[in-house]
Structure 1
Amino acid sequence: MSAAVAAAAAAALSSRCNSTGTASAPDAARSDLHRSFIYPPRVLLPPALSRYESQKRRDWSAFQQYLRDHRPPLVLSRCSGAHVLEFLKYLDQFGKTKVHAEGCPLFGCPQPSPACPCPLRQAWGSLDALVGRLRAAFEENGGDPETNPFGTRAVRLYLREVRDAQAKARGIVYEKKKRKKQYGEPRSDAMMFQH
């Protein structure tokens, strides 16, 4: 209840008291209570972060920690695509995706086997999403888009190699999404002769 509402309620009570003579003891106590009670001001909380924003902050903190722990320690302005590749390879030790080696009898089999001695790696999709979040975080934290180490050709090639290697090892086919035909676009000859 705001102070204006409380004041209006007190004025109504006092006018009622004046019209009837004196107010009863409970009415007087109630009006004193309204006058003495002050509501605390509203505290505006910042909006809750989305899942993506929270993950981006965690990833950015992890990358900054990696730069601090690097020997010799690195500053962000000296970071290159090669350092990003080191970071992505470092993350492989925390991976949970079984990637079969070429000599493994399960190479090309999509079902993971607990008996297989092949290493666990970061999944390609996780690395791809991580690089996207870090690329955005770099620019949000004052980095120049022209020198963004997460957008270098070497990083893109590495991600493509990881995707292709994991696809072979796990028997997963990554197909390009087919482009939707725009309205009014001429049909190709192959499409014309299908009918």
Structure 2
Amino acid sequence: MVALFLVDDYVSAELRHWCFLDAWTGCMSWRSEAHKQIVLATDASSYKYGAVVLRGTDGIPPQTLCDYFGAVEKPIHLKEAEAVHNCLLSFESKLKHHRVDVLVDKQVVLHGLQLNIDTRKIEDRLSLLDKKTDQSNSAKRKRLAASLADFLSNLPTPLTLCSCSPEDIRKFLVWKDEFGKTKIHTASCLYIGSSDSRVNCACPLRLAAGTVEGVINLLCRIFEDHGFGRFWDSMTMQGYPVCSQIVKEYLTRIREEQAKANVLPKQAKPIFMSKLRPIARYIDMQLARSDITSRERYVLLRDQAWFKLQFFAGDRAGDLSILLSQQISKRFV
């Protein structure tokens, strides 16, 4: 009877490594159990490192070596660790089968060498986070890609991602701009500088410059996923249309237009106690009504909990939309 067992990749790789023993007829060389002590001192600066064998046995005389680091900038404790690694490799033939005491002037290097780092656990965690990020970004890209495909197919001359040009991308951005909620006041408008988009004027509603930049970045990812590269050749009209100069200029002009209209990035408005008290009193007054309906009671209780949690937690109101019931340990009354 043959039993089958499911093993992971690490165990499988280990088993394959030792398969040579089934047909091997040789023998392993005997390793000496006598460890001899060598004292190695290392040091590193911002551009150079060095080492010296302070004391050794078996006739190993004091030796020194030094070398320069590469052009990559690193913290000094990483350079200290790299100096130890390079020096051990340089003295490999002399240090083999010896016990080595390494002297360094940075305790963080010794602490790092003594850490028991579970690289598999770290990789699994990073893989999980990357997967969540990819799922979120992938959903946004799919929606935008579908919107772009619909726009291109409904042009007077239907196009696809492979046949569109930078000018078509700019037209798509203008079309998306029509669904914005930011009021762009003209210089002659009486409400110029106002952040309220509900004011009664004929000025258009547009996408905020930051939103336009986000759309362009998502378009970049969409074209990269389809293998268009990172460059646009204006001579042959081939490549990566989102990377063209006219698309970059479009974003610059949007920013300039909104800067002239005194459009400021929106920020969450804080709720202070002076505002919370009147709101709470009004909600309590409405809840005390004798003719209140179940629907109205639900809405008022929901708003009351929302405002009080927002105030006492100190979070932005948008953060409360992802609050879980398990996270609420105390009810504010």
Quote how far apart the aligned CAs of 1:95 are: 1.2
Say which SS state the counterpart of residue 56 (structure 1) adopts. helix
Aligned residue identity for 1:159: L
Does the aligned pair in 2 maintain the 1:124–1:166 contact within 8 Å?
yes
**Is 2:169 the counterpart of 1:77?**
no
**Is 2:253 the counterpart of 1:155?**
no
Instruction: Give 2:220's aligned residue.
Output: 135
Q: Residue 167 of structure 1 is aligned with which of 255, 259, 264?
A: 259
Aligned residue identity for 2:243: G
Aligned residue identity for 2:142: R
Point out where structure 2 has 5 or more consecutive residues left out of the alignment. Answer: 5-130, 232-238, 266-333
Quote how far apart the aligned CAs of 1:96 are: 1.1
Instruction: Give 2:188's aligned residue.
Output: 103
Does the aligned pair in 2 maintain the 1:98–1:118 contact within 8 Å?
yes
Matches of 1:142 and 1:65 in 2, distance apart?
20
Q: CA 1:56–1:132 in 2, change beyond 3 Å: closer, same or farther?
A: same
Say which SS state the counterpart of residue 76 (structure 1) adopts. coil
Matches of 1:110 and 1:170 in 2, distance apart?
9
Task: Note the alpha carbon deviations across 1:109-149, whole angstroms, 9 max, x for none.
Answer: 34444222211111111111011011111111122322211
Matches of 2:157 and 2:250 in 1, distance apart?
24
Instruction: Give 2:139's aligned residue.
Output: 54
Quote how far apart the aligned CAs of 1:80 are: 1.1
TM-score relative to the length of structure 1 = 0.60
Instruction: Give 1:88's aligned residue.
Output: 173
**Is 2:158 the counterpart of 1:66?**
no
Quote how far apart the aligned CAs of 1:105 are: 1.2
Does the aligned pair in 1 maintain the 2:183–2:203 contact within 8 Å?
yes
Aligned residue identity for 2:208: A
- Answer 1 or 2: which has greater helix percent: 1
Say which SS state the counterpart of residue 178 (structure 2) adopts. helix
Point out where structure 1 has 5 or more consecutive residues left out of the alignment. Answer: 5-46, 174-195
Identity, in percent, stands at 30
Does the aligned pair in 2 maintain the 1:109–1:169 contact within 8 Å?
no
Does the aligned pair in 2 maintain the 1:108–1:168 contact within 8 Å?
no
Matches of 2:197 and 2:189 in 1, distance apart?
12
The number of aligned residues is 129
CA RMSD in angstroms comes to 2.2
Quote how far apart the aligned CAs of 1:171 are: 4.2
Does the aligned pair in 2 maintain the 1:98–1:120 contact within 8 Å?
yes
TM-score relative to the length of structure 2 = 0.36
Does the aligned pair in 1 maintain the 2:184–2:263 contact within 8 Å?
no
Does the aligned pair in 2 maintain the 1:99–1:118 contact within 8 Å?
yes
Matches of 1:93 and 1:160 in 2, distance apart?
18
Matches of 2:213 and 2:220 in 1, distance apart?
11
Structure of greater relative contact order (alpha carbons < 8 Å, 6+ residues apart): 1
Aligned residue identity for 2:240: N
Quote how far apart the aligned CAs of 1:92 are: 1.9
Matches of 2:145 and 2:219 in 1, distance apart?
6
Instruction: Give 1:37's aligned residue.
Output: none
